[in-house]
């Protein structure tokens, strides 16, 4: 699952970070490459941030918005880059100019690469209710931004062995999904600093797959 892969990725990165701290406590402030260990640790975090953006971002334009961490990476290793490039001065670029350029580049990518227009139900800064007809709709989309959305699956009686897909895009909002108690719910959400709660009792009559992403929001799947 994508959400699980995201957690495993950051877990591995944290282990690498912890191992680097142990090495720092053993050999002191300089690494074997002549780079201060705090700089090395910061480099690990920044490279991890860049890879996470490219691999795990659901929006295409988010994958390209990596100029800020790249600028910070250049600032951290400016001395080493200057030596490799043969520059006379270690401070070959003004850091404030570099950072401002990175911010402008990230904003520019927001204009160049359009945001994916979500299908289905859209809610922003308000409360809304959306009904999904299980007879006619196998895939549905809910886009919630800083709002409160409630989803109900209707006309579910007599339906067996079907698989439904619910694509959720939730940012700093609350989504509550009501499904029959005898459905199985599979969580494939990419959860980032949010909370996803799925009722414990799982049935086998039908299957609901939760797709999409949750950013600093709450998603709850409940049954009567």
Please write the tens of the pLDDT for every residue from 167-180: 999 999 999 999 99
Q: How many domains does the chain have?
A: 2
Read off the pLDDT of residues 86-127 as tens digits, 9 standing for 90 and up: 887 777 788 889 899 999 988 888 778 766 555 678 888 889
The two tokens of residue 146 are: 């800083």
Q: At what angle do helices 37-56 and 2-27 cross, to 10 degrees?
A: 170
Are 219 and 195 in contact by the 8 Å Cβ rule? The answer is yes
- Are 98 and 12 within one domain? yes
Question: Which band of pLDDT confidence, cut at 50, 70 and 90, is reported for residue 1?
Answer: very low
Average pLDDT over residues 181-197: 90
Residues 97 and 163 in one domain: no
Please indicate, yes or no, whether residues 98 and 133 belong to a single structural domain of this protein.
no
pLDDT in tens, 3-43: 567 778 778 888 887 887 777 666 655 555 567 777 777 88
Full DSSP string of 170-219: EESSEEEEE--TTEEEEE--EEES-EEEE-S---SSEEEEEEEEEES-EE
The first and second tokens of residue 43, run together, are 């480099």
- For residue range 55-96, what is the model confidence (pLDDT) as tens digits? 877 666 677 888 999 999 888 888 888 888 788 777 778 888
pLDDT at residue 148 in the model: 94
Q: Which residues pair with 211 in a beta bridge?
A: 167
More confident residue, 148 or 11: 148
Q: Which residue has the tokens 């809610």?
A: 123
Tell whether 101 and 194 lie within a shared domain.
no
For residue 199, the model assigns a pLDDT of: 87
**With contact defined as beta carbons under 8 Å apart, do 165 and 142 qualify?**
no
Q: Residue 115 has what pLDDT?
A: 60
Q: Are residues 209 and 134 in the same domain?
A: yes
Count the Cβ atoms, other than its own, within 10 Å of residue 152.
14
Same domain, yes or no, for 87 and 159?
A: no
- 2, pLDDT greater than 60: no
103/197 same-domain check? no
pLDDT for 219 = 95
Domain that holds residue 177: 121-222
CB contact burial 154-178 (16+ within 10 A = b; e otherwise)? eebeeeeeeebbbbbbbbebbbbbb
């Amino acid at each position: 699952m994508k959400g699980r892969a995201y957690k495993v990725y950051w877990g591995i990165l944290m282990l690498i970070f912890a191992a680097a701290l142990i090495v720092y406590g053993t050999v002191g402030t300089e690494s074997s490459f002549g780079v201060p260990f705090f700089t090395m640790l910061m480099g690990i975090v920044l490279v991890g941030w860049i890879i996470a953006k490219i691999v795990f971002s659901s929006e295409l334009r988010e994958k390209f918005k990596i100029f800020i961490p790249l600028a910070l990476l250049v600032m951290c290793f400016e001395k080493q880059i200057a030596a490799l490039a043969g520059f006379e001065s270690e401070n070959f670029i003004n850091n404030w100019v570099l950072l401002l350029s990175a911010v402008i580049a990230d904003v520019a990518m927001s204009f160049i690469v359009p945001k994916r227009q979500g299908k289905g139900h859209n809610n922003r800064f308000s409360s809304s209710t959306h009904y999904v007809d299980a007879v006619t709709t196998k895939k549905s989309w809910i886009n919630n931004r800083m709002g409160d959305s409630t989803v109900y699956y209707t006309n579910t009686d007599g339906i067996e062995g079907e698989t439904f897909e619910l694509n959720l895009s939730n940012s700093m909002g609350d989504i509550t999904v009501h499904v029959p108690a005898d459905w199985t719910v599979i969580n494939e959400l990419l959860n980032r600093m949010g909370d996803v709660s799925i009722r414990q009792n799982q049935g086998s009559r039908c299957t609901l797959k939760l797709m999409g992403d949750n950013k600093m929001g709450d998603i709850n799947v409940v049954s009567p």
